[in-house]
Amino acid sequence: MGAELDAGGLPWEDRSPMDYRTTKAFDHFLSGLAQAERDAALRILRDETEGIRALAPGPGRAQEIHRRVDEALARFAGMRPDVVGQVRCGKGCAHCCRLWVGVTCDEAALLAERVRAGGAHPDAARMAFQATWASPADFIGKPREEASCVFLGPDGACTVYEDRPSICRAVLVASDPEACRDGDLSTRITAVINPYVEVLVSAALTVDAATHPPPAPGRHLATELLAALNPPQ
Ligand code: SF4
């Protein structure tokens, strides 16, 4: 993850050098493009990043990005019903809710706000021990109950669906859901990549990292939520 767009060599001018935090899916999309298309995609990333950077930080910015992601998903569904029609994800599947879930500070603040208002009830025990897991590898091979997202309900449905992070919105697969079961993101899984959604998620991660440098390998939902609910006095 990560694309040094300020490293020179690009044929377009970048007036605000920044270490862009691109998603793996966006990197994969870029790798299949010709140079001119790649430059155009990177210009869009730069513009969306500047657009997000202009928004006031906090829960409201997370909601606005979620709105833009949902809009991009709907637009893609309208343009490519053939591709979106192959998506196999559905309510209650939730295999991807037992993997590392990345968030931005804004998203953690949004979820914490909802918890404080009584609109969500994360599993406190799970949140505490997942906050000690330092990397995505820590989630692999763990009992399903332990690795489940703190907001995953007993019926396999998300209990904060309207406020779920962008990454939860972006992940779609066209392969057999059972291939996702063990958390092994192998070639058995066919991901449906929505380029514009990946641009938005990458732009949000870039602005987040520029504001508050994240720990490696990124911010995890449980850790950030715990910190947002217990700010230092
Ligand atoms: S926030 Fe919701 S959709 Fe995202 S991992 Fe947690 S339960 Fe799943």
Per-block average pLDDT, block size 10, for the chain (233 residues)?
42 56 93 93 94 97 98 94 91 90 97 98 96 91 92 95 97 87 71 93 95 92 96 82
Beta-strand relationship, 3-4 and 19-20: antiparallel
pTM value? 0.91
Ligand 1 pocket: which residues have CB below 6 Å? 97, 101, 149, 151-152, 158, 160, 164-165, 168
Q: Determine which residue's CA is closest to atom 8 belonging to ligand 1.
A: 97
Ranges of each domain in the chain: 3-229
Which of 69, 73, 89, 97 gets mutated to test ligand 1 (max ligand atoms within 8 A of its CB)?
A: 97
Atom in ligand 1 nearest the alpha carbon of residue 168: 4
